[in-house]
């Protein structure tokens, strides 16, 4: 029954129906066997008591054996699934047809890896991760527990599906404000299964380095440059210090000046666009930009690409790459 996927309730129903059959037959026949009604009643009561005890005992024994067999089957399935996932993540050659059968997951489409984690228990992470997979365009997603507080997931999506994880912020009810989500980029096939997963893990690293307390939804494409620069965190701090000078301090004034300068560079020099983005007056943007240049020790027109990258790293990672005041 366990190996065929039947529930324990279906199995135990056989015993309940058997007991009912026994009771009906006993009540119909006992007076044929025993003429004295008083003796017949006592005998019926004794046999029913025995029947109840038997069903109670055998139900417990059978249920325990069912659970043990189900555990064996599930452990075997989990072990086999874990082995296939490990092989795929290690870049080993695998039998794709067998892997898809074991994982119940298609490996021929584009793969999006994602990671969901929480700070405290109390959230159905696996169920939540399946919601993420459906949002990304997969009717069925593969979800694997990484720890009690984190799960890995993969969505296999058709080539014509376009995903936008940022929309999840408004799509997910309830537990969305308790779960961090890091999403890799879509990549094709079994190799994409590994690549997108690694991107999701690197995105999680960036989120944790940034020190953000509130759960967020972050795509790898939004932090790819920061990830590349911060692989060596000491080197990233040195890069930021070299590009920003005294602007690389973890203080409120420096933060506002960096934000203004980054907004101007993002807007390709447009003060009006930067002011609209920041929600402040154009002149305020210009003043903060000038003070930022003074702290930096050179104009923003020098080494623009490096300056832009350093400001972006500071904006994402914050105190992890800044000097204390």
For 306, the 3-state DSSP assignment is helix
Domain boundary among 24, 54, 85: 85
**pLDDT one-digit tens code per residue, 123-152:** 899 999 999 998 888 888 999 999 889 999
Same domain, 188 and 116: yes
The pLDDT value recorded for residue 162 is 57
pLDDT in tens, 55-92: 999 999 999 998 888 888 778 888 898 999 999 999 99
The count of other CB atoms within 10 Å of the CB of residue 252 is 9
Tell me what the pLDDT averaged over the chain comes to.
90
From residue 152, give the alpha-carbon distance in Å to each of 133, 220, 290.
Answer: 11, 15, 46
CA distance 132 to 116: 9
**What is the pTM for the complete model shown?**
0.74
Residue 98 lies in a domain: no
How many residues belong to the chain? 325
Beta bridge partners of 217: 181
What is the mean pLDDT of the segment spanning 262-267? 95
CA separation for the pair 169, 150 (Å, rounded): 19
Question: Quick one: tokens of 155?
Answer: 């969505």
Same domain flag for 190 and 114? yes
At 299 the pLDDT is 93
Based on the domain organization, do 80 and 167 belong to the same domain? Answer: no
Residue 300 confidence (pLDDT) above 80: yes
Torsion, CA 256, CA 258, CA 259, CA 264, rounded to 10: 130
CB 126 within 8 A of CB 116: no
Same domain? For 198 and 247 the reply is: no
In a domain, 97, yes or no: no
Q: pLDDT confidence of 175, banded at 50, 70, 90?
A: low
What are the backbone dihedrals phi and psi of residue 146, each rounded to the nearest 5 degrees, phi first? Answer: -100, -35
With contact defined as beta carbons under 8 Å apart, do 186 and 195 qualify?
no
Question: Which residue segment(s) compose the domain that 80 sits in?
Answer: 8-85
Q: Is the residue at 2 inside a domain? A: no
Question: CB count, 10 Å around CB of 148?
Answer: 9
The structural domain count of the chain equals 3
Using alpha carbons, select from 266, 263, 184 the residue that is nearest to residue 217. Answer: 184
Going from the C-alpha of 233 to that of each of 184, 209, 237, 305, the distances in angstroms are 21, 10, 6, 19
Binned at pLDDT 50, 70 and 90, residue 5 comes out as confident
Sign of CA dihedral 42, 46, 47, 48: positive
What is the C-alpha separation between 82 and 271, in angstroms, rounded?
A: 53
The reply to whether 123 falls in a domain is: yes
Query: Does one domain contain both 154 and 201?
Result: yes
| pLDDT higher than 90, residue 177 | no
Q: Backbone dihedral region of 104: left (phi > 0), alpha (psi from -120 to 50 degrees) or beta?
A: left
Does residue 17 share a domain with residue 66?
yes
Residues 182 and 214 in one domain: yes
Same-domain check for residues 80 and 125: no
Domain-located, residue 94: no
Domain final residue, candidates 85, 118, 134? 85
Of 200, 223, 246, which residue is a domain's last?
A: 223
When comparing pLDDT for 70 and 46, which is higher? 46
Higher pLDDT, 34 or 169: 34
pLDDT greater at residue 178 or residue 238? 238
Residue 3 in any domain: the answer is no
For 207-219, write each residue's pLDDT tens digit. 999 987 788 899 9
Instruction: Specify if 183 maps to a domain.
Output: yes
- Note the pLDDT tens digit of each residue in 93-113: 999 999 999 999 999 889 999
């Amino acid at each position: 029954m366990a190996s065929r996927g039947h529930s324990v309730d279906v199995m135990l129903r056989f015993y309940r129906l058997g007991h009912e059959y026994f009771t009906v037959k006993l009540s119909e026949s006992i007076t044929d066997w025993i003429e004295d009604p008083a003796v017949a009643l006592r005998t019926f009561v004794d046999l029913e008591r025995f029947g109840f005890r038997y069903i109670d005992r055998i139900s417990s024994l059978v249920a325990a054996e069912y659970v043990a067999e189900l555990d064996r089957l599930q452990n075997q399935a989990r072990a086999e699934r874990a082995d296939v996932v490990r092989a795929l993540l290690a870049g080993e050659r695998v039998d794709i047809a067998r892997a898809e059968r074991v994982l119940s997951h298609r490996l021929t489409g584009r793969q999006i890896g994602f990671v969901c984690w929480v700070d405290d228990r109390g959230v159905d992470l696996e169920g939540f991760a399946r919601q993420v997979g459906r949002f990304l365009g997969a009717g069925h997603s593969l979800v694997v527990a990484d720890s009690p507080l984190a799960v890995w997931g993969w969505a296999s999506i058709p080539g014509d599906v376009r995903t936008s994880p940022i929309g999840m912020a408004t799509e997910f009810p309830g537990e969305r404000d308790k779960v961090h989500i890091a999403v890799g980029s879509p990549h094709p096939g079994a190799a994409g299964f590994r690549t997108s997963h690694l991107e999701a893990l690197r995105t999680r690293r960036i989120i944790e380095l940034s020190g953000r307390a509130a759960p967020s939804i972050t795509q790898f494409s939004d932090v790819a440059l920061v990830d590349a620069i911060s692989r060596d965190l000491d080197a990233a701090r040195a890069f930021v210090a070299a590009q920003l000078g005294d602007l690389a301090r973890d203080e409120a004034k420096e933060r506002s000046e960096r934000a203004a300068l980054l907004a101007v560079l993002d807007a390709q020099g447009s003060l009006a666009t930067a002011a609209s983005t920041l929600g402040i007056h154009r002149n305020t943007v210009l003043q903060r930009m000038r003070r930022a240049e003074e702290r930096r020790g050179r104009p923003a027109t020098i080494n623009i690409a490096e300056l832009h990258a350093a400001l972006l790293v500071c904006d994402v990672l914050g105190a992890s790459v800044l000097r204390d005041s």
